[in-house]
Every structure is written in C-alpha cells, then in structure tokens.
Amino acid sequence: MEALAVRLSGLDPYVDGALRIVAFYDTLMRRRVDLPALARASAGLAECVAGIRLHGTGRAIRVAPDGREPSGPPAAASTTVPITLDDEEIGTVWLERPGTPGPLDSVLLDRLAIAAASAVERYGPASTTMADPALVELAISADSDEAARARALRLLGFAPGLPVHVLAVRARLPLDRIGSMVCPAGQVKAAPLADVGVILATGVDPARLPPGARAGMGAADSPDRSWRQARTALRFTTRRRPVVRYAELGALALLADVPPEAARDNADVAAVDRIAGNPDDLETLDAYCSTGSLRRAADLLHLHHSSIARRLEQIAKILDIDLTDPTGLMRARLALTTWRLLGS
C-alpha cells in the first residue's frame, strides 16, 4: 500500500497532498486522540481556525492554528462537512479560512469528520451530566429499535455491555446535581422528559438522594422497560419512602394498572378519601399501615399510644374495617396505596 501511495504521489501533487492528509489522520486515530486534540491538530494542519460541534451537546470546539481558542468572534465557515455515525448525522466539522477554500480543505474535513465520529464512538460526548432530551428519549422509548437505542446510549457515553440503571425523579434541585449525587463515580446522564426527570447511570446509590426528592428505580435490563417500571415505582413513593425500587413492589405494582374509575368506586378507597380531609387522621393511618403496630406508630408520630388508639378507633369506624385484624389491616394498606396512586 505504501509503495502504491508513493507511485500515485509522483503522478499528481494533489494526490500527494491528499495521501499525506489521510496518513496524518490515520496516525491521530491510532493514537486515540479526543475531540479537542483533533481540532488542534486540524487547525495546525490547515493553518486556519478549525471547529467541531456535536448536535447532542450543542457545544462548539474552535481552535486557532496556534492551538489556542480564537480571540475574535466566529467567522463564516469556508468549508463544512457533517459528522456521520451509523448513517446518522451527529455533528459538523468546519474550517474558517479567509478568502477562498484551499484545494485540499474538503479532503482534510472528510478525514476530520471520520476521526471525530471515531472519537465520539470511543469516548462519547463531553462529560457533562445533562444530556440532550431527544437523545435520552431515544434511549428509553419503547418505539425505538435496538440499533437506534444502542446508538443513543453510545452517544450518551455508555459503553456497550454495561448495565444502565434508569430512574424517574421528581425534585426541586437541578437534575444534574441529583445525578452527580446518586452516581458520584460512574457514568451518569440526566434530562427532563415531560413531567418528570430521567437519570441514566451505570451505578446508583439511592441513599444519596437529597431530602425532598423522590425517585423510582426500574429493574429490567432493557432501558425502555426499566423506564416504564421507574415511572410506576415513582408513583408509589411517599414522604416516608422517597425511593422505591420496582423490584420491591412485587404484586403491589398491579395496583398501578387499576383504572381510576374502578379505584374511585371502591368503598375502601372512597373511605380513605373522606379521611384525607383530616391531615392528622391520614397521618395516623399512614403510620399504622407502615408499622403494623399501635406503639410503633405512636413512636413514629411522637405521640402517646393512647392518643393513637383513640384516633384509630375513629378511623376504623369511618373505614368500616377492623384494623386489629390482619385482613383488615391489609385492606387499609391497599386502600391507602390505591388512593395515593389516584393523586400521583
């Protein structure tokens, strides 16, 4: 191959220059350089400002021939080439050459685009927590095929074969801060999606979720199924139980599929709705259902057990359920959980 290149270069100076550019970028790719290094090398080779932009991050890397960031405002691109990965345009590379484009600028940018796509596939985009919502939605959507999902995860920076945990989050703190908290060491990406935040992470520590935030965690290996499970688990969270794993719900997860009309028509759920008008009674019922013990409920609410007993007596009359009976307690728990799901 090298002998053929030498023979061709002797026939045409343009071919000689093109072959040198190809060899230049082949060397950079063998050295596994990242996007900033590619931009610096390209600017030095072209002797003008070179730029790289990924659609997923929106951030542009612009480098002057001296290897520094250009001091002036961006000039109009003299030549532009798209960056393509798996038949999808993921970004753009360009040169800002004053005057007319050079005869080899298109060759240089073609090779830069190939090298940039290789770097993106290897390293992923810039290591920020927030990600393009469209890319995240592609990774977790049930409508995505497996090839598109794998490509989206790769562009988000997740290596093939590694498990990706999916969380559905509601919180007042910014999603990027929450993502960094629950996954301080591994790869993590976050994005708002409709009415809830999405966090994708290679590892999750639920104990690090900040106060006031709530999160549901999916259990499935596939991100799309895990996302559906995470949304369901989020509906089961409470002030006392801010993190719910779908795998821990078991048969309770079936309650999320009960039609709202059927739930509202249930006598036990309707009775809980009447109790909800009194916050103290609702808090007492919640504590008793959570602990299954009058004394533990009293300790949880910092009240005397006789006060809890009186409240539970009145609550039992409204519910028309014997709360001291195991079956009655189970009915109350199911009714309270179903009532919460109606408002989730």
The sheet with strand 214-217 has its strands ordered as 188-193, 196-201, 165-170, 214-217, 243-245
Among residues 255, 279, 300, the one where a domain terminates is: 255
- Which residue range is the domain that position 59 belongs to? 2-123
Q: Are residues 214 and 243 in the same domain?
A: yes
Among residues 205, 232, 255, the one where a domain terminates is: 255
Q: Are residues 231 and 275 in the same domain?
A: no
Q: Count of domains in the chain?
A: 3
Q: Are residues 241 and 138 in the same domain?
A: yes
Does residue 64 belong to any structural domain of this protein?
Answer: yes
Q: Are residues 211 and 267 in the same domain?
A: no
H helix and E strand count, the chain: 15, 9
CATH number of the domain at 95, please. 3.30.450.40
The pLDDT value recorded for residue 58 is 65
Q: Are residues 199 and 226 in the same domain?
A: yes
Q: Are residues 233 and 280 in the same domain?
A: no
Among residues 123, 148, 168, the one where a domain terminates is: 123
Does residue 152 belong to any structural domain of this protein?
Answer: yes
Q: Are residues 6 and 119 in the same domain?
A: yes
Burial track 114-147 (b if 16+ CB lie within 10 A, e otherwise): bbbbbbbeeebbeeebebbeebbbbbbbeebeee
Q: Are residues 65 and 145 in the same domain?
A: no
Does residue 236 belong to any structural domain of this protein?
Answer: yes
Does residue 128 belong to any structural domain of this protein?
Answer: no
Closest-CA residue to 93 (of 106, 121, 112): 112
Q: Are residues 74 and 147 in the same domain?
A: no
Q: Are residues 234 and 325 in the same domain?
A: no
The CA distance from 206 to 288, in Å, is: 25
Helix extents (H) in the chain: 2-11, 13-30, 35-46, 105-123, 133-140, 146-155, 175-182, 223-235, 246-249, 260-265, 267-275, 279-291, 294-301, 305-319, 326-343
The pLDDT value recorded for residue 9 is 47
Kindly report, residue by residue over 267-325, the tens digit of the pLDDT.
999 999 999 999 999 999 999 999 999 899 999 999 998 999 999 999 999 999 999 99
Note if the pTM is more than 0.75.
no
CATH number of the domain at 297, please. 1.10.10.2840
Q: Are residues 248 and 263 in the same domain?
A: no
Q: Are residues 94 and 196 in the same domain?
A: no
The CA distance from 61 to 186, in Å, is: 25
Kindly report, residue by residue over 205-262, the tens digit of the pLDDT.
999 999 999 999 998 889 999 999 999 999 999 999 999 999 999 999 999 999 999 9
Could you tell me the CA-to-CA distances from 85 to 151, 264, 338 in Å, in that order?
9, 51, 47
